[in-house]
Structure 1
Amino acid sequence: MDHKAFIASLSPDALARLNRTEDAAGIWHLAVHFGLIGGLGAWIALGGPLWWAFLVPQGIAICFLFTLEHEATHKTPFRSAWLNEWVGRICGLLIVQPFEWFRYFHLAHHRHTNIPGKDPELLAGAKPDGWRAYLWHVSGLPFWRAMIGQTLRNAAGADPGDYVPERARSRVRKEARVMLAFYAVALASPAVSAVLFWVWILPALLGQPFLRLYLLAEHGRCAFVADMFQNTRTTYTNRIVRFLAWNMPYHTEHHALPQVPYHRLPELHRMMRGHHGVTSEGYLAFNRDYTRDFGSRRW
């Protein structure tokens, strides 16, 4: 059974229940996630005991806002459309990933998941195959270079990508210019920029490798086919990771039915048991398996 046959097997009532959005679950989740970032940031800024030990957790909490921005492109974390839009934009601002542009990039990824020559995630850079490429990828530096460059190109009015429709290009350009203006103002004052360096910039640099390791499991070493049960991986992990990632470790579930809100993915996972084609018993296990044959390859 492929993912389309599975979806066809679900009753209209089950689909309606799975697709139902709400504000309460998302607002509570958002409050805890942003509260964590605010609390860790305050501890670091005030120089609390062992403040330096909180730089990496702060960075992980910030960088995993990617998963919330990603969900907001699907308009599923909240029932309120304006809340999805503004939360997505704020997340994009904090991780230097323009929300308006990413909306269309990600839509193309769903339309052509793991199909070479069509999936923009593959066009942006193939999955690393060898230690040198793997370590470079996991460092997060290619991400920062790509997103800063994309934001600058968007602001200059350059082609944002074939997947961005003409009607949206002015919005993409305006968004990038607003982002650049915000960064300029935020970093203009030495006193303010010093605080931002310790509570935002440095933690984000330190946290990005953890997001790269997480994201690599979503489609890395999956088949280049159209079946979501084969081209996408669900990774079993603990509640903390699922919370920070807004349940996106249930990634096969998300790709099979992207309109299902993040908080209903555990239910969909239970319904989907026995149909998963690709799973992993945790992110350490995935990356261990992913790199297993690197030792026999040249750097």
Structure 2
Amino acid sequence: MTDVPSDEFAPRPKLLTPQVLQQLCTRSNAQGALRTLSHYGAIIGVGALIGVIASTHGVLWALPLLPVQGVLIAFLFMAVHETAHKTAFDSRRLNLAIGNLSGFLIGLPYDYYCLFHWEHHRHTQDPLRDPELIVGPKPRSETQLAIAYSGLLQVAGRLRLLLKHAVTGKVTVPWVPAGRRATIVREARAYATGYALLLLGSVALHSALLLWIWVLPLLLGQLILRPYLYAEHTGCDHTRSAFHNTRTTFTTRIVHWLAWNMPYHVEHHAYPAVPFHALPKLHAIVDGEIKYRGQGYVAVTRHTWAWFRDQFDGTKFGSK
């Protein structure tokens, strides 16, 4: 995906000179490798611990680790997102490799997501053109809202779309141009083949290991990822300015690590060419321009939940 230009309506604080912005946009293989290795290292470590405990003491003893593993795997969405912008690494090949690996692990085809996300940046908070407002569940009751916040419908939806692309060979969503549809079909078929081979291998080996260290944790992790994603734009203005249509949420260091600094989401939308590791510096410069400032994800989730409840009449919704 080509980098989206800076928001044409974004304020330009005096300290954010062209020279400073150019420095902030410097990409780093070292920074990308450090974040990737630490994230994947944590997944491998917790997964290995689940496997050892399950094999020596039984699966029940490993259950408390499944939510931890789930959050780590689900938040590989952030690796897909950063590599979609080609800012995780200076190397294009590394961006593509980590993007596809992470996309495969969370059931989100990488090339498809790049096109989806490009459209989101172009039309953020536009009810008619932002794909995050077009797709996904439209809750109209407390029960439907709770299901939406579980993230399971979103996962089921993208896997269903993947299978549709793979089986029918047809791509009809408007954010995939005609010239890219064949690529999206090939990608879907490659992902589907990979999942089928892993399933067949597990059956042949009579092993449920992948179920316990990958599939079930991924589903559990949506319970944290989905509220996090809803915090990014829900309840913000329907305007072109990233400083008004997006929310930055102030949170802990561990969440910043897990989310690849994307709690600085206003900063990212205003200047999407700035890589994840430079967002704290960018925040220090543009902080005073931010309209929506969340004070922790618990408080913001209460706010977004209340916002959705107010929309039960079906007039407008936000989704990701």
TM-score higher than 0.5 here? yes
Higher deviation after alignment, 119-128 or 77-86: 119-128
Out of 30, 39, 46, the position equivalent to 1:24 is: 30
The residue that corresponds to 2:225 in the other structure is: 211
Out of 121, 125, 134, the position equivalent to 2:145 is: 134
CA, structure 1 residues 19+160, in 2 after alignment: closer, same or farther (shift >3 Å)? Answer: farther
The residue that corresponds to 2:40 in the other structure is: 34
CA, structure 1 residues 290+79, in 2 after alignment: closer, same or farther (shift >3 Å)? Answer: same
Residues 60-75 of structure 1 mapped to structure 2, 5 A cutoff? 60-75=71-86
Report the alpha carbon displacement of residue 262 of structure 1 after superposing the two structures with TM: 0.3
4+ long deviations beyond 6 Å: 293-299
Residues 112-191 of structure 1 mapped to structure 2, 5 A cutoff? 112-125=123-136, 128=139, 130-155=141-166, 156-188=168-200, 189-190=202-203, 191=205
The residue that corresponds to 2:113 in the other structure is: 102
Code of the residue aligned with 2:174 in structure 1: it is D
Out of 239, 250, 253, the position equivalent to 1:239 is: 253
Higher deviation after alignment, 123-132 or 206-215: 123-132
Equivalent pair of 1:101/1:160 in contact (CA under 8 Å): no
- Contiguous gaps of at least 5 residues in structure 1: none
Root-mean-square deviation over aligned CA pairs: 2.2
**How far apart are the structure 2 equivalents of 1:22 and 1:298?**
45
Q: TM-score, normalised by structure 1?
A: 0.93
Report the alpha carbon displacement of residue 243 of structure 1 after superposing the two structures with TM: 0.5
Give the percent of matched residue pairs that are identical in Structure 1 and Structure 2.
41
The residue that corresponds to 2:266 in the other structure is: 252
Equivalent pair of 2:46/2:65 in contact (CA under 8 Å): yes
The residue that corresponds to 2:21 in the other structure is: 15
In the alignment, does 2:53 pair up with 1:47?
yes
Report the alpha carbon displacement of residue 18 of structure 1 after superposing the two structures with TM: 1.0
**How far apart are the structure 1 equivalents of 2:217 and 2:180?**
32
2:53 aligns to what SS in structure 1? coil
Equivalent pair of 2:10/2:242 in contact (CA under 8 Å): no
The residue that corresponds to 2:4 in the other structure is: none
Report the alpha carbon displacement of residue 254 of structure 1 after superposing the two structures with TM: 0.4
Equivalent pair of 2:139/2:312 in contact (CA under 8 Å): no
1:46 aligns to what SS in structure 2? helix
1:158 aligns to what SS in structure 2? coil
Residues 71-90 of structure 1 mapped to structure 2, 5 A cutoff? 71-90=82-101
Equivalent pair of 2:50/2:213 in contact (CA under 8 Å): yes
Report the alpha carbon displacement of residue 292 of structure 1 after superposing the two structures with TM: 4.4
Residues 193-212 of structure 1 mapped to structure 2, 5 A cutoff? 194-212=208-226
Report the alpha carbon displacement of residue 131 of structure 1 after superposing the two structures with TM: 2.3
